[in-house]
């Protein structure tokens, strides 16, 4: 479970604003409510998750700050981070270390059409296990977006779907 929680946090801060010539994130600054499911391990049952996020643009238009929280089965996870549009449809981000115990905490990816594909690799500071994740952000016009994440199973090294959260304005 220690490896899944950082992945969830990365999932939730893995979207932001783009440069003026890249409208992928136009309209996504504001307040959002999300609902969906996650699995804390490859062989675990799905659990419901609910999130509330508030996002604000940096005045330069290349970074979106995200703050909020998600709740699931007795956990409340604070979300605090940002993502930067690097140009040429590439994105990168760092996650603030308030809850995540990682030895590296950045991810990067590319936009393709209405989706942003991000990849992360790092190590848990406590267990030293490698954490790998694939994140997909699918924009639904200006009415919302969905975030899906896959993670590596530490026993098999294969990817499994951690979950999906669908966000709407609110």
Q: And the tokens for 79?
A: 């979300």
Looking at the structure of the chain, the number of domains it has is 1
Query: How far apart are the C-alpha atoms of 127 and 139, rounded to whole Å?
Result: 35
The pLDDT tens digits for 8-56 are: 555 455 443 333 344 566 677 889 999 999 887 888 899 999 999 998 8
Query: How far apart are the C-alpha atoms of 37 and 55, rounded to whole Å?
Result: 22
Confidence of residue 167 (pLDDT cuts 50, 70, 90): very high
Query: The domain containing residue 79 runs over which residues?
Result: 4-169
Confidence of residue 125 (pLDDT cuts 50, 70, 90): low
CATH no. for residue 87? Answer: 2.40.128.20
Decide which of 124 and 36 is more confident.
36
């Amino acid at each position: 479970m220690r490896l899944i929680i950082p992945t969830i946090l990365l999932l939730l801060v893995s979207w932001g604003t783009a440069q003026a010539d890249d409208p992928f994130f136009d309209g996504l600054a504001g307040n959002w409510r999300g609902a969906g499911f996650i699995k804390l391990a490859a062989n675990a049952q799905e659990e419901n998750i609910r999130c509330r996020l508030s996002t604000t643009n940096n005045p330069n238009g290349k970074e979106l700050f995200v703050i909020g929280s998600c709740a699931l089965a007795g956990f409340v996870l604070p979300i605090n981070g940002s993502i930067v549009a690097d140009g040429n449809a590439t994105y990168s981000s760092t996650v603030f270390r308030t809850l995540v115990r990682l030895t590296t905490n950045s991810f990067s990816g590319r936009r393709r059409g209405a989706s942003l594909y991000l990849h992360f690799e790092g190590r848990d500071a406590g267990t030293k296990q490698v954490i790998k994740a694939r994140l997909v952000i699918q924009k639904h016009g200006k009415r919302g977006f969905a975030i899906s994440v896959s993670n590596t199973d530490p026993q098999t090294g294969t990817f499994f779907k951690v979950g999906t959260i669908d966000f709407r304005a609110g």
